[in-house]
């Protein structure tokens, strides 16, 4: 079944007002306030102004608000990096990449230099001059956002902007993670955090690539969502008395899964992952809980020939591929839509682990 295709009437409104609504915080851990602000009209070379209509809320946005990571973010900060909208204004030279009215997505990588050794090898996320939306530059929790035109992701006609939004970080990130996980069709793959924003999509992309998925998360909602997304087995990490034994027992030969993609927001998720992998298995760290470490026992890591392949978002091409798979009806984004003014409440629920799937914000509400 192809995804529902809806053109939002707002996609045709291409005028640029002087003022707009933004969700902003001024200090680490400080409150999110909804304010009126000037729209940026003077666009630097190569930049485009995007009228953001929907934005997903990623746990990364909450980590940024709380100052969870060892890298400082811009302050004050307008967060958000799953923005879906239309191009309404172009800086000089931006017309080489997009035109007015194009449906586009703003990703975590807001811009990359294009010239460094990493960009030349298409590892744009590792660009030495990369700017990150909703972190080092203002992001998509505002009605009009500035972004590097060449880094915008075209949104296929078959996807509504509302459906596309969560794919712009969660989707591309887990698509890339699945590609790095060294599994082949028929292998068992554990998705840790399978009921979350990233996890529910990871379960589907991994299944699409032929994996048999074991989902790990907690609670009835996330169990039901994991099953809906294709997980053959669900293990509740709060109920299991022996997670390693339970995961191994859920694999057909009892030897453990071929890969574990950790898309969880809690540090505990990393504690046992290397222990339940089968020999020659791959751990793919994706989730970025604060103060987390991966402890690898040297003997067993070598003896079992394990790999740890960390995965950080995706490049421009991977974003196009992740959206294309969804546009062909292979991925079902499970989300609930609220308004920009609900963001503080969304962060509360996210912090308490109460959100199954993704929350998408209608930026005008």
Task: Return the closest-CA partner of residue 21 out of 344, 362, 278.
Answer: 362
Residue 58 or 106 with smaller CB distance to Zn ion: 58
- In angstroms, what CA-CA distances link 251 with 150, 221, 285? 44, 23, 21
Helix (H, G, I), strand (E, B) or coil at 234: strand
Binding partner of residue 85 among Zn ion, ligand NAD, none, CB cut-off 5 to 8 Å per kind: none
Phi, psi dihedral angles at 263 (to 5 degrees): -115, 30
Pairing relation of β-strands 33-38 and 19-24?
Answer: antiparallel
- CA dist., res. 166 & res. 280, Å (int): 32
**216 is a site residue for ligand NAD (CB under 6 A):** yes
Task: Return the closest-CA partner of residue 330 out of 149, 178, 107, 129.
Answer: 178
Residue 139 or 199 with smaller CB distance to ligand NAD: 199
**58 is a site residue for Zn ion (CB under 5 A):** yes
Shortest Cβ contact with ligand NAD: which residue? 196
Residue 135 or 144 with smaller CB distance to ligand NAD: 135
For 71-106, give the DSSP string: SPPPSSB---S-EEEEEEEE-TTGGGT--TT-EEEE
Token representation of residue 353: 């682990």
Exposed (0-12), middle (13-18) or buried (19+): which is 307, by Cβ within 10 Å? middle
Q: Which 286-305 residues touch ligand NAD, going by CB under 6 A?
A: 286-289
Residues in the chain: 365
CB of 100 to ligand NAD, least distance (A): 30
CB of 300 to ligand NAD, least distance (A): 21
Angular region, 36: left φ>0, alpha ψ -120 to 50, beta rest: beta
Q: Using the rule CB under 6 A, give the single segment among 26-34, 98-106, 149-157, 350-358 that binds ligand NAD.
A: 350-358
- CA dist., res. 107 & res. 96, Å (int): 19
| x/- track of binding to ligand NAD for residues 33-72 (CB under 6 A) | -------------------------xxx--x---------
Binding partner of residue 198 among Zn ion, ligand NAD, none, CB cut-off 5 to 8 Å per kind: ligand NAD
Applying CB under 5 A, which of residues 78, 169, 190, 229 lies at the interface with Zn ion?
169
Q: If you search the block for the tokens 């999110």, which residue do you land on?
A: 32
CB of 81 to Zn ion, least distance (A): 5
CB of 330 to ligand NAD, least distance (A): 20
Task: Return the closest-CA partner of residue 62 out of 50, 52, 77.
Answer: 77
**355 is a site residue for ligand NAD (CB under 6 A):** yes
CB of 58 to Zn ion, least distance (A): 3
Measured CA angle at 103 (ends 91, 200), to 5 deg: 125
**217 is a site residue for ligand NAD (CB under 6 A):** yes
Total of chain residues touching ligand NAD, rule CB under 6 A: 35
Shortest Cβ contact with Zn ion: which residue? 58
Residue 43 or 312 with smaller CB distance to ligand NAD: 312
Residue 114 or 289 with smaller CB distance to ligand NAD: 289
Under a CB-based contact definition with an 8 Å cutoff, are residues 258 and 187 in contact? yes
Applying CB under 6 A, which of residues 8, 312, 332, 338 lies at the interface with ligand NAD?
312
The residue ranges that bind ligand NAD (CB under 6 A) are: 58-60, 63, 169-170, 173, 192-193, 195-199, 216-218, 222, 237, 263-266, 268-269, 286-289, 311-313, 350, 353, 355
């Amino acid at each position: 079944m192809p995804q529902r295709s809806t053109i939002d009437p707002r996609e045709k409104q291409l005028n640029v007002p002087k003022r707009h609504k933004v969700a902003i915080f001024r200090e680490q851990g400080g409150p999110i306030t909804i304010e009126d602000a000037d729209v940026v009209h003077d666009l630097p070379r190569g930049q485009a102004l995007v009228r953001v209509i929907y934005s997903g809320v990623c746990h990364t946005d909450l980590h940024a608000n709380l100052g969870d990571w060892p890298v400082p973010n811009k302050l004050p900060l307008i967060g958000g990096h799953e923005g879906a909208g239309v191009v309404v204004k172009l800086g000089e030279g931006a017309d080489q990449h997009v035109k007015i009215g194009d449906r586009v997505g703003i990703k975590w990588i807001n811009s990359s230099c294009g010239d460094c050794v990493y960009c030349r090898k298409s590892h744009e996320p590792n660009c030495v001059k990369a700017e990150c939306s909703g972190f080092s530059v203002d992001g998509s929790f505002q009605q009009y956002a500035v972004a590097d035109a060449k880094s915008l992701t075209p949104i296929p006609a078959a996807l509504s902007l509302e459906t596309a939004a969560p794919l712009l970080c969660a989707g591309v990130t887990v698509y890339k993670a699945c590609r790095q996980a060294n599994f082949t069709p028929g292998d068992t793959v554990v998705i840790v955090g399978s009921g979350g924003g990233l996890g529910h999509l990871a379960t589907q992309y991994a299944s699409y690539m032929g994996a048999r998925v074991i989902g790990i998360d907690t609670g009835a909602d996330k169990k039901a969502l994991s099953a809906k997304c294709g997980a053959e087995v669900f293990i509740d990490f709060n109920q299991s008395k022996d997670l390693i034994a339970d995961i191994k027992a859920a694999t057909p030969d009892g030897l453990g899964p071929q890969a574990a993609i950790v898309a969880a927001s809690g540090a505990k998720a990393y504690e046992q992952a290397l222990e339940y992998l089968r020999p020659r298995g791959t751990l793919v760290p994706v989730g970025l809980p604060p103060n987390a470490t991966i402890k690898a026992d040297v003997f067993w890591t070598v003896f079992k020939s394990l790999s740890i392949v960390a995965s950080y978002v995706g490049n421009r091409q991977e974003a196009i591929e992740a959206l294309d798979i969804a546009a062909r009806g292979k991925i079902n984004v499970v989300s609930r839509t609220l308004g920009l003014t609900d963001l503080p409440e969304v962060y509360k629920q996210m912090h308490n682990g109460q959100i199954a799937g993704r929350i998408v914000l209608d930026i005008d509400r």
